[in-house]
Structure 1
Amino acid sequence: MPAPVIVPQPLAAARAAFVGGAGYLAACTQGLPLRATLSASRAELDAWERGEATPAAYGAAVEEARAAFGSIVGVPADRVAIGSQVSAIAATVAASLPDGAEVVCVDGDFSSMVFPFLAQQHRGVTVVHAPLDRVADAIGPRTSLVAFSLVQSATGAVADSDAIIAAAATHGAITFADLTQAVGWLPVDASRFDLTACHAYKWLCAPRGSAFLTVGDRMLDELRPVQAGWFAGDDPWASCYGPDMHLARDARRFDVSPAWPVWPGTAAALAFFAGLDQVAVHAYTSGLGDALSDRLGLPALGQAIVTWPDADGSDLAALSASGIRASGRAGRARVAFHLWNTPDDVARVGDALPAKDRGSAEPAGS
């Protein structure tokens, strides 16, 4: 039986930063907004309504968010580019591969980390699909890049990044990790990967439409800025018109023009997470996950996301009928514990579900 989940005082205080959240176990689908995010977003709308919104103010919010994200994942701000969606970031990575490149992907990974590479097949790019626990073995001398979600969307399984990084280094392959289902509950050092992508609307609780790309040193020149626009310029305000192009010399060369209204709220959300002890957050959220696993007779895996087979959707339906917000993916029920959750949520889930053998917490080969 796992130890009782104790809420560290700083995290107990941090819970008050959210309006609510009891019974909401769907952070892996969409995070809940912080009070500060709601305040910043409403202030932006009010300023827009009054005709007082300015590009300079939006730009300042972008830079605050960029620096905060870099702090959270352990890279300097000049190695962080902004984006809108993981698929668009992955498309930039895919377009930068040479003709005939081989890419290793996870079998069953979220499509945003697979489709952009499949879409390059017209120029000879091939994709090798490997089970999560065999990704490192699938990397060989022909592999140009390995693309994988650090935490799998459908199962919550955590990739063996040490083995993947080691195998990629042996063969000179680029490592590209999607951190969307990890950052916010799992401590992550993005500097270990050549490239990472992260959409901030899930565990980082930002408005949807703000995403980040981190770029390792060797990729600054290898990655092609195929989405370059005025915001990627060395001086964006001097880059509004052609014909000359002078891109930023750091990761900002991969920036896309920001969807302005989402960035004040994003900056507020990321400032909050940058001020948290990520190790303590992981201990708390994964402790709740292990407590639920014990309640349901599943292996405790030290994860904030707990999934189990639910092919007919009966468990998800039972959770919904009890007022619990969860999700179902790939024939599995999925619950996620974040800072707003408490041991009461563990009890609510356990009480809502009928007693039965739920098998393994993660599918074979994950």
Structure 2
Amino acid sequence: MIANQFREPTGYLDFARFGPPSNAVLAERSRLTEYSAVAGPTTVDDLMRQDLRARAAVARLCRTDTDHVVLLPNTSTGLFQAAFGVRGEVVVSAAEFPSNTYPWARAAGARPRWVSHVTEIPEAVTGDTAAISLSAVDFRTGYRADLAAMREVAGDRVLIVDGIQGFGVVDEPWEVADVLVVGGQKWLRAGWSTGFMVLSDRALDRLDPVLSGWTGAEDPGLFDDSVHQPAPLAAAWSLTNLSPIAAGALNVALELVEQAGITAVEAGISAKVDELGEVVQRAGGQIVSSVEPRRRAGILAFTIPGHPAETVGAALNAEGISATIRPEHVRLSPHVSTTADTIDQLAIALKRVTPPGRPATAHQRSVAGVLETLIPTINGLGTALGPGTEVVLHDLGRLPNSIVAIAGNLTGRTVGGPMTDLLLGLVRRGTTQDLTDYGTHAPDGRPITSSTVFIRDPDGVAVGCLCVNSESTSATPPARDVETFPGDVDTLQRHLVERAVADVGVPVPLMKKAHKSQVVKVLDEAGFFLIRDAVDYLAAELGVTRYTIYNYLNEVRARIDAPVRDSRAGCGP
């Protein structure tokens, strides 16, 4: 790797947001600015030649030629140009970064067909589809689209790719895109107001250069008081001259990628992501971005169960870690220049966040002490209540394997087993009110009567619960069990999913998006997603990707405050 080119501070892990420019880029900007300050007869013409240098570097990395490249100040400009040039239906994910959704909503000639995630695009393509638009790498989770496969899906349709989170990070067949738009301020580390667009012959033939400025016209230097026709090839998509200083910076940044080799860059970033993932998992975190090397780039997104993302983010910021904090997770994005000190600093910062079941404060230690004090009393209480009873103590800080003590074998469970479906749902909804004398059945079918009493901390927050189950003498057992007693987490997950599918009333193979979204809603209310790896489990059961489940979950939670509607409305036949 190129030494002594980068000097971002220790703790910087936010390249998916902005990449601090390299020393070479800073030097080139300074050189060109200084040159412009002593302008002579040829200065402007000399500076404008930076455009060709930058386009040549783009062409080499994209395996094309300069006639198919135009420089732009940012990704949004290129995507708006592409959108205004399309006539007809465009399949695009509503979960894209806004720079790839607003253009399609604004373009009069385009008819967006929205999907929830890039993985749903193949099923959404119709005979009327004129174009497909997607990000090479998802800005939230770092999911890396299969561009070669998407080219097959597109067929002869126009394939538009936002490459800002992938170009200079991973080695992709960029030439399969008909329109590739990239901003240089992130992973390329070229600074703001740098970027480019590459157009294939198909794009040049199909798309209208609506936003074509005077520099995109034939004979742009001929001022004859007339509006000229668009120039041939990609030049027609130029609005005006890009800053030659920005063009020079982009060229140097691209040359650094060439010198290092994109294969080496990808391997280096991947290794850093692996290291960060190990740190996160040791701290009790759950990685929600792709872990499959072929489906990830430079982004690692994670949560720490039981701790809001903003709390985790505050701990990182306090320790000098630069990261992107979103409502649903924390996003880390390293580069090849990320140092071991930065990774160590992340580990220190995460230790400030208390993983579930690991009390850190004096208050939390006192709560744990109360529960530990109760453990020896459980056997005595079970003996006092006599045969046919079972006494269980749950620690709610150890979800879902919350059983810390149990006396009796009425339900066949042991210490370390999970809480019941009823208790999990109560915890998820925050309705931790004591329940007494309700009827259900033991796993062997015997009717039982149960009571659940919550143990609270000095602030009134439920931290544990004491449950007593007894053989029932009632002659009329409940028509439907309000509680089941799984022996392990897998059984709990399976039961919750089967019940949710039954509630929706449609077999999984026949489900449409609305049905699957409803399953997610039911499971969210049941506390299913408090279970580790629940998203992966459900994705496999519903035959979708984990990212689709996250999108459904975000949509469901966004509708919590909306007016109540028929949950099955719009499901279709």
Fold shared per TM-score above 0.5: yes
Normalised by the shorter chain, which TM-score bucket? Answer: 0.7 to 0.9
The one-character-per-residue Cα deviations of 1:266-288 (angstroms, maximum 9, x if unpaired) are 22222212222111111110111
1:241 Cα deviation from its structure 2 partner: 4.8
Cα distance in structure 1, aligned partners of 2:213 and 2:332 = 39
**Residues 78, 330 of structure 1: CA spacing in aligned structure 2 closer, same or farther, 3 A cutoff?**
farther
Cα distance in structure 2, aligned partners of 1:64 and 1:246 = 26
Give the one of 304, 312, 316 matched to 2:313: 316
Pair 1:18-2:6 in alignment: yes
Pair 1:352-2:349 in alignment: yes
Cα distance in structure 2, aligned partners of 1:123 and 1:69 = 30
1:64 Cα deviation from its structure 2 partner: 0.9
Pair 1:270-2:254 in alignment: yes
**Residues 189, 234 of structure 1: CA spacing in aligned structure 2 closer, same or farther, 3 A cutoff?**
farther
1:71 Cα deviation from its structure 2 partner: 1.6
2:193 paired residue number: 209
1:300 Cα deviation from its structure 2 partner: 3.2
1:197 paired residue number: 181
**Residues 124, 364 of structure 1: CA spacing in aligned structure 2 closer, same or farther, 3 A cutoff?**
closer
Cα distance in structure 1, aligned partners of 2:169 and 2:120 = 25
The one-character-per-residue Cα deviations of 1:221-269 (angstroms, maximum 9, x if unpaired) are 222222222322344433x554152543221221232331322222222
| Local SS of the residue matching 1:64 | helix
Identity, in percent, stands at 23
1:129 paired residue number: 115
> What's the TM-score, normalizing by structure 1?
0.87
Letter of the 1:18 partner, please give it.
F
Where do 1:104-115 residues align within 5 Å?
A: 104-115=91-102
Contact 2:14–2:323 under 8 Å retained in 1: yes
Pair 1:76-2:75 in alignment: no
1:7 paired residue number: none
Cα distance in structure 2, aligned partners of 1:306 and 1:27 = 11
**Residues 241, 81 of structure 1: CA spacing in aligned structure 2 closer, same or farther, 3 A cutoff?**
farther
Cα distance in structure 1, aligned partners of 2:151 and 2:212 = 29
1:3 paired residue number: none
Cα distance in structure 1, aligned partners of 2:79 and 2:313 = 31
Where in structure 2 are there 5+ consecutive unaligned residues?
282-286, 357-531, 537-545, 551-573
Pair 1:305-2:305 in alignment: no
Pair 1:219-2:233 in alignment: no
Larger Rg: 2
Contact 2:310–2:327 under 8 Å retained in 1: no
1:347 Cα deviation from its structure 2 partner: 2.5
2:106 paired residue number: 119
| Local SS of the residue matching 2:90 | strand
**Residues 129, 41 of structure 1: CA spacing in aligned structure 2 closer, same or farther, 3 A cutoff?**
same
Contact 2:117–2:547 under 8 Å retained in 1: no
Cα distance in structure 2, aligned partners of 1:182 and 1:188 = 8
Where do 1:1-366 residues align within 5 Å?
A: 11=1, 14-52=2-40, 54-98=43-87, 101-120=88-107, 122=108, 125-169=111-155, 172-238=156-222, 240-260=223-243, 261-297=245-281, 298=287, 300-302=291-293, 303-309=297-303, 311-329=308-326, 331-353=328-350, 354=353, 356=355, 363-365=547-549
> What's the TM-score, normalizing by structure 2?
0.57
Letter of the 1:32 partner, please give it.
P
| Local SS of the residue matching 1:151 | coil
Contact 1:65–1:271 under 8 Å retained in 2: no
| Local SS of the residue matching 1:81 | strand
Cα distance in structure 2, aligned partners of 1:27 and 1:300 = 19
**Residues 271, 123 of structure 1: CA spacing in aligned structure 2 closer, same or farther, 3 A cutoff?**
closer
Contact 1:313–1:331 under 8 Å retained in 2: no
2:515 paired residue number: none
Contact 2:219–2:228 under 8 Å retained in 1: no
| Local SS of the residue matching 2:5 | coil
Contact 1:22–1:340 under 8 Å retained in 2: no
Cα distance in structure 2, aligned partners of 1:339 and 1:48 = 33
**Residues 226, 241 of structure 1: CA spacing in aligned structure 2 closer, same or farther, 3 A cutoff?**
farther
| Local SS of the residue matching 1:275 | helix
Contact 2:84–2:110 under 8 Å retained in 1: no
| Alignment: residue pair count | 348
The two structures, once aligned, show a CA RMSD in angstroms of 2.4
Letter of the 1:156 partner, please give it.
G
Cα distance in structure 2, aligned partners of 1:355 and 1:138 = 43
